[in-house]
Chains A and B, each alone.
Chain A
Amino acid sequence: MFQGFMIDTWVVASIVGVIAGIVGFFVVLRGSSFVAHAIPNGAFAGAAGASLVGASTLLGLGVFAVLGALGIGTLGRHGRHDVVTGLVLAFMLGLGALFLSRTIEYAPAIYSLLFGEVLGISHADLVPTIVLALLCAIAIAVLYRPLMLSSVLGEVAAARGVRTFALDLAFLLLVALATTMTVPVVGALLIFSLMIGAPAAARALTSRITVAMALSVLFALISVWAAIALSYRTNYPIGFFVGTISAGCFLLGRLWSRIRGGVA
């Protein structure tokens, strides 16, 4: 499990866990689970398109994730956010269906993109993942205060002159960025469950923001590591373990807060 060819997987997965834990924390704070599900899922269409024109999967994922984020952000300004998210997602998947009908690359490649592939991570993926992770980290560092303020106290932030629309767009782009780097590992369908399971559990355990964020990263890391180990041992798809472990995290968090009768 720790042979040479698996080292890259562990490194990439750990980076994925940290980013998912932090970005996911904001996703849960802002109640944006649907967006966190829609952007990776729609970006899958971009990967299908990239394979059609012979471009790299990562590029296709990135372009579609960003376009999806911009679409949801601009249309959501005057429409219902959840409706717009659903429609943009459906449209991107419609494009995906079109791309898939044009390619001959069938089940296995698509399947691994949807549900993740542990052994699919190569040494070549290391550099782009690290670059994207750094970009993500810088974006979070810059946006941290206004994003936290607007997530927790929307009206106060608006009153203090935080530009809500611009910030919303920035947040969506952050999710898009995180998506691009995490999808190849965990899969388009299940990355969002990593992004909401761990942070939701962390939030149930403590009401202190910084502690909750640290716990969120920790839980996300544990989820990814356990999922990889189990997937490696059993040969079952990693997505199955990520989904189940994330839901388990959430339930344990809920149980804990109920026993304590506390914050939640």
Chain B
Amino acid sequence: MSAPATFVPSTFASLIAPGFFSSGAVRTALTIGVLVAIVAGVVGTFTVLRGQSFAGHAFGDLGSTGGSGAYLAGIGPLWGFVIAGIAAAAAMEAVGVQRARGRDLATGIVLGAGLGLAALFLYLGTTATSTTGATVTILFGSIFAIPSSTVPWVLLLALISLALIAILYRPLMLSSASPELAAARGVPVRLVGALFLVALALTVALTAITIGSILSTALLIGPAAAALRLTRSPRAALASAAAIGVGTVVLGIVLAYDSNTWPPAGHAWPVSFFIVTLVLIAYLASGVPAYLSRRRDSREGRDANAGSAGASTLGAGGETTGAISTVVR
């Protein structure tokens, strides 16, 4: 199989030539990383708006089911991720992910069953071939061990997800901001939701092979949540989510590359650690304006509720909620 079967630090030193930009592995990592960050930012914005972070994370974890299943079946891990993602999306839809109440429960049940299967696949896979570290590779992934032949496929998947979002843009935005209003205007809310779930599954399959199935959560949720705290305009939020994502990925790759020369020399730090930390910092920083305005509000002796209500509706974005938060302010 063509899967990268090694863990970052051990292969890092041998994979990377002295120059940062002359290294093929770094170029591939940068290409895929930027691409994935853009798609994750766009899809993530809707994910956060719709309150489906758990589903977004679950697809990443379920990717380990697909990855380990693909490993057993001898097909490429990317296809394992894609198949598992779409199957999981269908299962969640069947169990009842479309109703806001019980949505997390349905996600959890599907995730639990999927992880159980992953345990079985990994067990069968590791006893059959005794490849140590397969578990860790699938779960944590490695952006530096992507074969460059994967790039065209990643590009294709990225285009499919973006195209889905572009086609669905207006009904999706409306039904994310206010399902009732969307239904009243004749938007097929359930169909839109199901199609979005497929786009989400494809996107997470993408992020999962770049920074690992579990850590993909950060890139999907973090930049989007940060962007939605900074701006109320949907388009601006989409653009800034993608920009924040790209920034964290590029900086993370550079830092991981540099870390090879840090104190315990010759032993690089995992790139996913850097990316996730940067994403968390970006999210925390995005809360500063709201925090300052909350403090100003309470200092001016206004009703403290106005500040927090404004801050929480700010996160909801969209035309309708944007209007609401303007009224509240």
Contacts and interface: CB of A to CB of B under 8 A. Distances in A.
A165 B213 CA distance: 32
Nearest to A98: B273
A86 B52 CA distance: 10
A193 B279 contact: no
A192 B229 CA distance: 30
A240 B122 CA distance: 10
Nearest to B284: A75
A178 to B, nearest CB: 16
Interface in A73-96: 78-80, 82-83, 85-87, 89-91, 93-96
Given A193-B111, A246-B109, A106 B277 contact: no
A190 interface: yes
Nearest to A111: B135
B150 interface: no
A31 B103 CA distance: 9
A34 B108 CA distance: 7
Nearest to B107: A33
The SS class assigned to the A binding surface is helix
A46 to B, nearest CB: 15
Interface stretch (B13-21, B218-226, B236-244): B218-226
Contacts of A116: 119
A101 interface: yes
B119 A115 contact: yes
Contacts of B56: 86
Contacts of A87: 217-218, 221-222, 225, 279-280, 283
Contacts of B267: 101-102
Given A83-B53, A244-B116, A107 B105 contact: no
Contact of B115 (A110, A193, A196, A250): A193
Given A94-B272, A98-B273, A193-B112, A110 B135 contact: yes
Contacts of B61: 189
Interface stretch (B75-83, B126-134, B163-171): B126-134
A236 B273 contact: no
B273 A95 contact: yes
Contacts of A200: 105, 109
A21 interface: no
A98 B274 CA distance: 9
B205 interface: no
Interface in B36-95: 48, 51-54, 56-57, 61
Contact of B277 (A86, A94, A115): A94
Interface string A179-216: 00000000101101100110010000000000000000
B215 A93 contact: yes
Given A94-B272, A98-B270, A107 B116 contact: no
Interface in A229-264: 236-237, 239-244, 246-247, 250
Contact of B136 (A82, A83, A107, A190): A107
Contact of A91 (B107, B134, B270, B280): B280
Nearest to B219: A90
A28 interface: yes
A95 B229 CA distance: 25
Given A96-B140, A101-B270, A196-B108, 11 more contacts: A31-B101, A37-B111, A79-B283, A93-B215, A94-B275, A108-B132, A189-B118, A192-B108, A192-B112, A241-B116, A250-B109
23 contacts: A31-B105, A33-B108, A78-B294, A78-B308, A79-B283, A79-B287, A82-B53, A87-B217, A93-B140, A93-B276, A94-B270, A97-B215, A98-B269, A98-B273, A106-B132, A107-B135, A111-B126, A189-B115, A193-B115, A239-B119, A240-B119, A241-B116, A243-B117
